[in-house]
């Protein structure tokens, strides 16, 4: 399993709209081989993030080359004040 923990900063008053967009765009991503899940998280101090799971690093790289990912990435930026900051991890134990 390959995990992306992504720090994001939402534009003011966009949280509800963004939550709906995540749900809808996940339906597209679920059709791509190697995509497992994407969840929106919020810390106690109000910061947002995304937890994205892929079957492996290679699947992650292939997904980033699809037209579906390009379109979702463009849409994502409509909700953010700055580009997302991803951090990548391999699951080494469960």
pLDDT digits (tens, 9 = 90+) for 39-84: 999 999 999 999 999 999 999 999 999 999 999 999 999 999 999 9
So what's the pLDDT on residue 54?
98
Q: Which domain holds residue 71?
A: 2-90
Alpha helices in the chain (DSSP H): 15-29, 57-63, 67-76
Residue-level pLDDT at 43: 97
So what's the pLDDT on residue 36? 98
pLDDT given at position 51? 98
Number of domains in the chain: 1
How far is the C-alpha of 43 from the C-alpha of 34, rounded, in Å? Answer: 27
Q: Mapping DSSP to helix (H, G, I), strand (E, B) and coil, where does residue 47 land?
A: coil
Q: Considering the entire predicted model, what is its pTM?
A: 0.93
- What is the model's pLDDT at position 49? 98
**pLDDT per residue as tens digits for the range 3-22:** 999 999 999 999 999 999 99
| CATH code: domain of residue 72 | 3.30.70.100
């Amino acid at each position: 399993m390959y995990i992306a923990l992504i720090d994001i900063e939402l534009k003011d008053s966009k949280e509800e709209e963004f939550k709906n967009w995540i749900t809808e765009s996940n339906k597209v991503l679920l059709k791509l081989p190697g995509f497992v899940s994407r969840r929106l998280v919020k810390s106690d101090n109000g910061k947002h993030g995304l937890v994205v799971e892929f079957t492996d690093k290679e699947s992650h790289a292939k997904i980033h080359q699809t037209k579906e990912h390009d379109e979702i990435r463009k849409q994502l930026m409509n909700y953010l004040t700055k580009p997302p900051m991803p951090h990548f991890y391999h699951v080494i134990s469960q």
